[in-house]
Structure 1
C-alpha cells in the first residue's frame, strides 16, 4: 500500500481506521485489540496461538479459534476486504506498510528530528519533532484492552514520546529560544514532578532566560519532591545545580543537545496538548447500561465534587459473581469523570484469577502511567507506594481498581492526600473497611432484568411473551451476566421463542450450559470464586447444595461438615457465595446459597451421594436436638412451624426413603410438639 496524506491505521491514541467518511473506530474490545496487535506488526504474521494467548491469557474459551475468525471477518469489513487482512497458514497478517500506521510515521519523524539535532541542525530538527508529536491524540492504544504485548508496547511508545518532547525542547534551546523552551517544559514538570531530566532542562532554560531566582526555586521543588521518597538528586541534576550556584549557566552557551539520551526517558505529553495519560484509561461505558439508578446516584454523589474536596475518598462495590460490579463502577466513573480533570486510572487487580496481581507490580504500572521514571523506581512495595502517593498528591484523579483480592492488596494502592477518589470492585466483602465505604450490590429487580432483556432482544419480542420473559430472568436469578447471556443467545437466533429458552433454563442440570456464550460464562465466573475457598468451605458449598433452595443456620452447617462452622460461614459470606436470610421466629440467624451458586455447587462440586446423604443426616439430627431444646418457647415454635411445615414434611419423607428410622422418629417427635418443620 502506498504512502497517503494520512495514515491508514491510528494507534497513537484510540485505535481508528481511515474510512471513506473519515476515521472509524472498532466497536468491541477484542476485535479492537486484535487490530492493534496486527498494526503493531505490519507485514508480519501474528500466529493464532499468540493471538489466543494475548486475548484470553491462560483461560481461552473452548471455541477461541472460531471467535478469532469472527473478529477477522468483522475487521475485514471495516478495512475494506481480504487484501489488507490476509490469512496465512499459521495466523494473520495486516498487509500495510509501517508508514501507513501513525506509529511508523512517528518513529520515522522522530528519528529524523533526533538525527538533525545531533548533526547541529536544530531548525530542521524542530519541524520534524513537532510533526512527530502532532500525530499523538492521547496515550498510545488508549482504548485497547490490556494484553501482554499491548501493555509492553504502550509503555515503550510513551518512552519514545517523552524522548521526542525533550529533544523538541532541546531544539528550541539550541535555536536561542529558551523562553519558548520554558513554556514547553514547565507543564511537563508539573505533570511529572519526579522526572529529573525534565527538571534539568527547565532549570537550564530558566537560567539562560535570565530567570535565575526561578531556576533556584525549581531545583528546590524537585529536591524536596525527591526527599519525600528518600532519594537524592541524580548526577545530571546535581551537576546543573552546581553550575547554577557557580554562575556558569546565566551567561554561558546553551548545553549540548540532546541533554539526555532517549533510553532515559518516559511518559511525557507534548506541551501543545498537556493531557495526562490517565484521562483515557477508563474502559468504554456500556451503551445499553440498564437500571441501578439509585445506586448510581448514590455513588456519583459520594465520588463527585473532586474539585472541592481536600481529602481522598474510597468507595468499594462488592457482591456475588455476575452481579454487575465492574459495569456499575465503569458507568459511575464515566458519570463523574468531569470532576477529575487530572485523569482516570483503571487497573484490573486479578483478585479472582489464580495469580492476583502483586501490589508492587500495580504500583509500578500506575506510577509509569502518571509519568514516573522506571530508572528511579525503587524495588520495595512500600517505597513504590510512597512514589505513587507523591505523584498523586496535588492531583484530582479518579482511580478504578477492579476485582480486588482483599484489603491487603488494596492498602498500598490508595492515595494518602489530595482530592483523588478510588472506586474498588471486589467479590470479597472487604469487612476491614468501614460500612460507609462499602456497598453490597444485590441482583436486579425483576423490572430491571426485564428491561435489559428487552434491550438485547428487542422490546416487541420481549413483550410478546411476557410470562416466558419473566421466567427467563427469574431462572437467571436476575443477575446481569446471566440475563445478558440469555438475551444474546436469543438475539443470535430470532427463530427461538422465549418459552423455549425458559424451558431450557428450567432444568437445573442444563442451566449453566445454556448460560455460556463465548467468553461470557456464568459457571466460569462462579468457579473463579470457588477455587479460592479453603477446603472446608469448598466442601461446605457442595454439601449445602443438597438442601435445595431452603435456608439453614450456622449450626446446621457445622453438623453437615462435622466440624466447627463459624469460620466456614464467614468465609462463604465474605466471598458472596452465601447470603444472609435474616432471623427466624426462634431468633436463629439463617443463610442461603444464591440460586445460580447452588446450581453450580450441585453440578460442579465433586462429592459422592453417600457423603451428601451422611451430611444431611447429621444436619437433620442436629435440627431435632435444637428444636427439642426450645420446647418451652411454644409461641415462637408455633410461629416458626407455621411457615415451614411443607419443608418439614419433605425432610420426613427424605429420611423415610433412606430408612433413617432414628431420624424419622426424631422428626416425628418434633411434629408432635408443634405442627411444623425442623430447622435447616
Structure 2
C-alpha cells in the first residue's frame, strides 16, 4: 500500500506510503470527512460550518474553519496536504478515483451490474467479492457530524444494493445455502426492504425449504400490515403465488455454455460451485470444497472463461490432493486473493503461471494455499503441492530433476517408468499432465531456472509459485508482489491469535506492537503467540519489550518460527550463490547495515561500499530482487524495519560472506565487506556534505560557498550537482532525514568538520520551509564545535532564524557573538555579512539610522572582495533602511541596483527581495498601480522558491497596495490568503493580519 488512499467506508482513514496518517481533532476529522464524501466537488464554507458544528456554527465560524483547513493540511503532510484546495465559495479535496475506497467500490459495483445484465453471474460475483470487503463498517463511523450527510445515506444504499446483487448472483449460480444466513440477517435489519425479502424467499425455495419460505412470507406480510398498513408489493405477492403453486420455473436451471470448438455444451451445478469469492464477505463463502458435489468436472458458467480443455469431460483418473492445511486465522489479503482467483477465469493458449513474491515472512505461502483451496473444485484431476526448498536452513534447493521425480511419483507413475535423462523426464511430466485439470503449487522457489522445467505444457492447469525473488525469467508469468499488511489487517491478525478482547482493551498499544513488528505477518503472528502464551501480559507489556531494537528479533521467536532465521536464509542464499554479483550483494548488505539513515540512493551507497556507481546500483537492485531491500520509488532504497535490525546485527558482528569469490569480484567484495568500514562511512559523509553544499549553492547562488566549507572528495565518488533551484529543493526535501543522520554519524566518528558544516547546508532550506524552531535546535547543538570560524557561522544562522521568528533581541545577541569571532579570525566576508544582519535588527528595533551605518560599513567590504552576492544583499537591505528613515528616493535606487545584481547572479530569492522592496517603496509614495505590479512579480518569486513566510509577507503588502488603490475585495482576499499561511506555519504575525481583516 505505497500509494495514497482515502477510506471512508468505515472509520475515516488516510494512508500514505503504507502508513496510516493520523488526523487529530474531532472537528478537523469532520471537515476532512465532509470533503472526502464529496471528493472533487466544492463544498461551501457555510455547509461545512453548519455540519462541523452540528447545525449551530458559532460567530466567526468561517474564519475558524480556515484554521481547521490549515490543521487538516498540516496533518496530511507535504504530499497530501495540497490536496485540500481553497475554491470559492468553499473548499474541495482532489483525489484520483483509484485512491478513494468509495470510487473503487462504485466502479466494481458498476462492473457487477453490467455483468448481471449480460447474465454473466460468475463475473458479477467476482466483482462484488472484490467490492464488499472495502466496507469496514458504517461510512465515517467515527465521525458523528458526518452521519447526517446525504453522502452517507447514498453510500449505505449502494452497499445494500451490492449485497442484494451478490445474493442474486449466488442464487443464479445454484448456491442458495451460501447466502441464506446473510439474507435472514439483512431482512431482519431492513424489514421494509422488499427486494431483500424476495431474495430470501427464493433462496429458501431453491434450498428445498418451500414450507419455510411460505411461513416467512406470512410473517413479512403481517409485519407490513401492522406497522405500515400496507400489503406486500406486487413482486413479493407474485412470488408468493408461485411458491404456493410450486412453480417449477423458480428452480435453478443449469446455464448452458457454448463450447468454443463445437458451438454447444452444458454446464453442471458443480462448475457453478467452483466460482469462488473473496473470503472476507460475510455469508459469501462459496469455496468449492464446501459445496456438495464439488470436485465433479464440468464446463463452468457463462463468462467464467471455462472454454477449451475445461469444457471436456474429466479424464478417468483418481483425484490427487496433497495441498497443505489452510490456516484458520488467515487475515487480510482480499485484493491479492481476488487476483489469484481471477487467474482461474482465464482461457489462455498456454499454462497460467501466477508467481507470488515478497520478503521473508510476508505470507506468500499462506495466501497461495488459501487460493489453492478456494480453487480446488476447478481442478478435479489433481491438486499438487511441492516445496522447492529455495530457502531451507537445512537442505539444499530441490534440483529440477528431483522435483520432477517427486511430482511424477505423486501422479502414480511407477519408478521404473521415470527416465534418467533430464529432457526425457520433463517430456514425460508434460505428457502426464496433458489434458489434466490440475492445480500445481510450487512453494519456496529459488529462481526461474528451478521452476521452468516443472511447468505443464497445456492450458488446462494453473501453477501457483511462491518465491522471495521476482521470477521475471519465466515467459508469460504473472507476478504478484506482496507487501506487508495494512495496519487494520495486522491488528486483525494479532487479535485472532492473541484474543480479540485483549487487543480491543489496549488499542493504542496493540497498534504499537504491530508497528514494531513492521506489519510483517510472521512477526505479528509470533507476537500474538507470545501474548497468547502469557495471559498476564498486556499489549503494552509486549510493546515495551519490542521497543528495544537490540532485543526485538530475539523476542520475535516462537518454537520453529523466527523472524531472524527467515532473514538469515535470504542472506545466506545470496552469500552461497554461484553468481559473483549475488555474493557481492550479500557482502554489501552487512555494510549497508552501518548506515542509520531512512534510505539511500546509488550515489552515497557507492561511497559507502567503495564501488563504482553502476556496480553499487546493481548491488542495490540485487538486494531488492531478494527482498532484503525495498524500493518504493525509482532510485531510492530502504530496509524494512526488521530487516534493518538484522542488518545492524550483522554489521556489529562482522561477516565472512566474501569467502570463495575470485578475482576482480573478490576485490569488490573486500571493499564492500568491511576491510575499512569507517573509510566507507567517511566517504559517504563527504559525499553528503559536498552534495548538500552544491544544493545550497543552487538555492542561493554565490552565497552558500562563501559560508560553507566543502571537504576533499574522492574522485571515484563525485557529489551530485544541481542545475537549478527546483532540483536542489527537491533533493533537500527527499534527503533531509538522511542529512540529519549523516550529522549523527559524523559526531559518532569524530568527523567534526562534516558535523559542523552539514547543518549549515540545511539553513536556507529550513528557512524557506518556515521550520525555524527546528533549525534553531539543530544549529544550537553544534555551538560547542570549538572552531571559531564555524561557531561564527552558526551564530550568524541562528541570528537569521530568530529574526524570522521576530525574536530580535535574541538575534542581536547571536549576530554580535558572530561579529566578534569574524573580526578575531580575520573573516572579512563574514564581517560584512554580520554588519548587514545587525542592520536588519536595528531596522526592526526602530533605529534606521544605525541600520544604514552598519550597512555602509559592509558595502565597501563586499566590493573590495569582489563578492557580488554579498554586495547585492547589502544593497537590498540599504534600501529598506532608507525606507525606514523616510528617504524613499535612496531606497528605490539601492533596491534597483540590488535587482540588477541578483538578476545577473540568477538568485531567485534575491530578485524577490528586491522586487518586494521596490513595490513597498512605490506604495509608500502613493503609486498604487506600480506597487501592485512589482509586488505581484515578487509574489511569483516567493512562490517559485516555496518560502511560505515570505509569500505571506508579500501578500500582506499586496493587500495594502490593493486597499490603497480602492480595491477592497482584492485586498481582503490577499490578507485572508496570508492569514491561512501564517496559521499553517504558526507565525506570530497572524495577529497583525487578523487586525487588518477586522471589520471587513
**What is the TM-score when the length of structure 2 is the normalising length?**
0.38
- Matching of residue 401 in structure 1 with residue 442 in structure 2: yes
Counterparts of residues 113-192 of structure 1 (less than 5 Å): none
Aligned residue-pair number: 397
Match of 1:660 among 751, 759, 762: 751
Instruction: Return the offset for 1:399.
Output: 0.1
- In structure 2, do the counterparts of structure 1 residues 424 and 450 end up closer, same or farther at CA, with 3 Å as the change threshold? same
Counterparts of residues 299-448 of structure 1 (less than 5 Å): 299-304=340-345, 311-353=350-392, 354-433=395-474, 437-448=478-489
SS of 1:439's partner is strand
1:617/1:663 contact within 8 Å kept: no
Query: Partner residue of 1:641?
Result: 732
Per-residue CA deviations over 1:170-221 (Å, capped at 9, x if unaligned) read xxxxxxxxxxxxxxxxxxxxxxxxxxxxxxxxxxxxxxxxxxxxxxxxxxxx
- In structure 2, do the counterparts of structure 1 residues 504 and 549 end up closer, same or farther at CA, with 3 Å as the change threshold? farther
Distance 1:457 1:301 in 2: 33
Distance 1:643 1:418 in 2: 47
Query: Partner residue of 1:540?
Result: 588
1:276/1:370 contact within 8 Å kept: no
Distance 2:554 2:487 in 1: 23
Gaps of 5+ in 1: 1-272, 584-588
1:549/1:593 contact within 8 Å kept: no
2:353/2:476 contact within 8 Å kept: no
Match of 2:620 among 569, 578, 588: 569
Instruction: Return the offset for 1:372.
Output: 1.2
Per-residue CA deviations over 1:597-627 (Å, capped at 9, x if unaligned) read 1111111453399944332222122234445
1:638/1:675 contact within 8 Å kept: no
Distance 1:322 1:452 in 2: 14
Instruction: Return the offset for 1:630.
Output: 2.5
Distance 2:498 2:422 in 1: 48
Instruction: Return the offset for 1:380.
Output: 1.9
- In structure 2, do the counterparts of structure 1 residues 403 and 657 end up closer, same or farther at CA, with 3 Å as the change threshold? closer
- Matching of residue 599 in structure 1 with residue 660 in structure 2: no
1:551/1:581 contact within 8 Å kept: no
Counterparts of residues 214-253 of structure 1 (less than 5 Å): none
Distance 2:476 2:643 in 1: 25
Distance 1:539 1:666 in 2: 32
SS of 2:573's partner is coil
- In structure 2, do the counterparts of structure 1 residues 374 and 607 end up closer, same or farther at CA, with 3 Å as the change threshold? same
Please say which of residues 447-456 and 633-642 is displaced more in the overlay. Answer: 633-642
- Greater RCO (CA < 8 Å, at least 6 residues apart): 1
Distance 1:462 1:671 in 2: 43
- Matching of residue 553 in structure 1 with residue 587 in structure 2: no
2:598/2:737 contact within 8 Å kept: no
2:484/2:520 contact within 8 Å kept: yes
- Matching of residue 619 in structure 1 with residue 684 in structure 2: yes
Distance 1:274 1:428 in 2: 38
Per-residue CA deviations over 1:427-477 (Å, capped at 9, x if unaligned) read 011232468610000000000000011111211110100111001101111
Instruction: Return the offset for 1:322.
Output: 0.2
Instruction: Return the offset for 1:497.
Output: 1.4
SS of 1:346's partner is strand
- In structure 2, do the counterparts of structure 1 residues 515 and 525 end up closer, same or farther at CA, with 3 Å as the change threshold? same
Distance 1:610 1:673 in 2: 38
1:450/1:470 contact within 8 Å kept: yes
- In structure 2, do the counterparts of structure 1 residues 412 and 664 end up closer, same or farther at CA, with 3 Å as the change threshold? same
SS of 1:565's partner is helix
Match of 1:582 among 633, 639, 659: 633
Instruction: Return the offset for 1:274.
Output: 6.8
Match of 1:460 among 486, 501, 507: 501
Instruction: Return the offset for 1:647.
Output: 4.2
Instruction: Return the offset for 1:275.
Output: 5.9
Distance 1:666 1:435 in 2: 53
Q: Whose Rg is larger? A: 2
Instruction: Return the offset for 1:513.
Output: 0.7
Instruction: Return the offset for 1:277.
Output: 5.3
SS of 2:541's partner is helix
Per-residue CA deviations over 1:238-289 (Å, capped at 9, x if unaligned) read xxxxxxxxxxxxxxxxxxxxxxxxxxxxxxxxxxx976352x2000101111
Match of 2:529 among 488, 510, 518: 488
SS of 2:574's partner is coil
Distance 2:532 2:553 in 1: 18
1:322/1:522 contact within 8 Å kept: yes
**What is the TM-score when the length of structure 1 is the normalising length?**
0.55
- In structure 2, do the counterparts of structure 1 residues 364 and 577 end up closer, same or farther at CA, with 3 Å as the change threshold? same
1:428/1:576 contact within 8 Å kept: yes
- In structure 2, do the counterparts of structure 1 residues 603 and 460 end up closer, same or farther at CA, with 3 Å as the change threshold? same
Per-residue CA deviations over 1:145-192 (Å, capped at 9, x if unaligned) read xxxxxxxxxxxxxxxxxxxxxxxxxxxxxxxxxxxxxxxxxxxxxxxx
SS of 1:283's partner is coil
Instruction: Return the offset for 1:371.
Output: 2.1
- In structure 2, do the counterparts of structure 1 residues 649 and 463 end up closer, same or farther at CA, with 3 Å as the change threshold? same
More helix by share: 2
Gaps of 5+ in 2: 1-314, 576-582, 656-673, 695-719, 768-774, 776-1000
Distance 1:345 1:646 in 2: 49
Instruction: Return the offset for 1:557.
Output: 1.8
- In structure 2, do the counterparts of structure 1 residues 652 and 310 end up closer, same or farther at CA, with 3 Å as the change threshold? closer
Instruction: Return the offset for 1:549.
Output: 5.2
1:624/1:667 contact within 8 Å kept: yes
Instruction: Return the offset for 1:310.
Output: 5.6
Instruction: Return the offset for 1:653.
Output: 4.0
2:352/2:459 contact within 8 Å kept: no
Distance 2:738 2:608 in 1: 18
Query: Partner residue of 1:29?
Result: none
Distance 1:457 1:661 in 2: 49
2:404/2:454 contact within 8 Å kept: yes
Query: Partner residue of 2:721?
Result: 630
Per-residue CA deviations over 1:543-602 (Å, capped at 9, x if unaligned) read 22222351100222221110231331121011010111315xxxxx21101111111111
- In structure 2, do the counterparts of structure 1 residues 274 and 296 end up closer, same or farther at CA, with 3 Å as the change threshold? same
Query: Partner residue of 1:276?
Result: 318
1:645/1:675 contact within 8 Å kept: no
Distance 1:527 1:351 in 2: 13
2:743/2:755 contact within 8 Å kept: yes
Query: Partner residue of 2:559?
Result: 518
Per-residue CA deviations over 1:638-678 (Å, capped at 9, x if unaligned) read 2332464454234224314433245346635644675599x
2:436/2:460 contact within 8 Å kept: yes
Instruction: Return the offset for 1:311.
Output: 3.5
